Amino acid sequence: MTEKGRIVKMVSQDQEEFEVEYGVATMSTLIANVLQDVSEETTTVPIPNVNAQVLAKVIEYCRYHYEAKRIDQSEEDIERWNKDFMKVDNKTLFNILIAASFLDIADLLDLGCKTVAGMIKDKSVEQIRELFCIEGDFTEEQEAKMREENNWGSEMSQENNAAQ
């Protein structure tokens, strides 16, 4: 069987099956490695760490980017699509990040991390905690001390801003 017509069945944590073209599936380095190592008759790849909802999103991403590359989609269109793709709730976003990390899809991981970084940008620690529902476990004194010990970061940042 040629790789072109090869279909890979990805099975999510909750046993849902997704039929994906070989080229799309192998955007994941992990799956590419697995498929390289098994015989061509093997078509099913269990993804035990990713649930169906998240796996569907990941496949959507891979499918779009595979096609975009094939038809030479413009950078602007891809960026716009990426932006829309990342318009999800925080829980889904985090799950996509974890899946991208597990499946070793560097572009998706990068996109997800940039999205989270964009959400963090210019926010105070309290705002970040509120945004991501994080319970702070530092006392006020500890936080103040750490801020003092690490304030070189903000000073340098201010210097950089001034220089710019």
Binding residues vs other proteins (CB under 8 A): 33-34, 36-39, 46, 48-49, 94-95, 97-98, 101-102, 109-110, 112-114, 116-117, 120-125, 128-129, 132-138, 143, 146-147, 150-151, 153-154, 156-158
The H or E element spanning position 21 is strand 17-21
When the beta carbons of 67 and 83 are compared against other proteins, the nearer one is 83
Q: Report the distance separating Cα 113 and Cα 97, nearest Å.
A: 7
Q: Which residues contact 131 (CB under 8 A, 6 or more apart)?
A: 90, 119, 120, 123
Minimal distance, residue 145 CB to other proteins, in Å: 11
Q: How far is the CB of 58 from other proteins (least distance, A)?
A: 14
Q: DSSP label at 44? A: E
Nearer to other proteins, 3 or 46 (CB): 46
We find the least distance from the C-beta atom of residue 3 to other proteins, in angstroms, to be 18
The Cα–Cα gap between 141 and 93 comes to 33
Is the CA virtual torsion 91, 103, 117, 143 positive or negative? positive
Q: How far is the CB of 72 from other proteins (least distance, A)?
A: 27
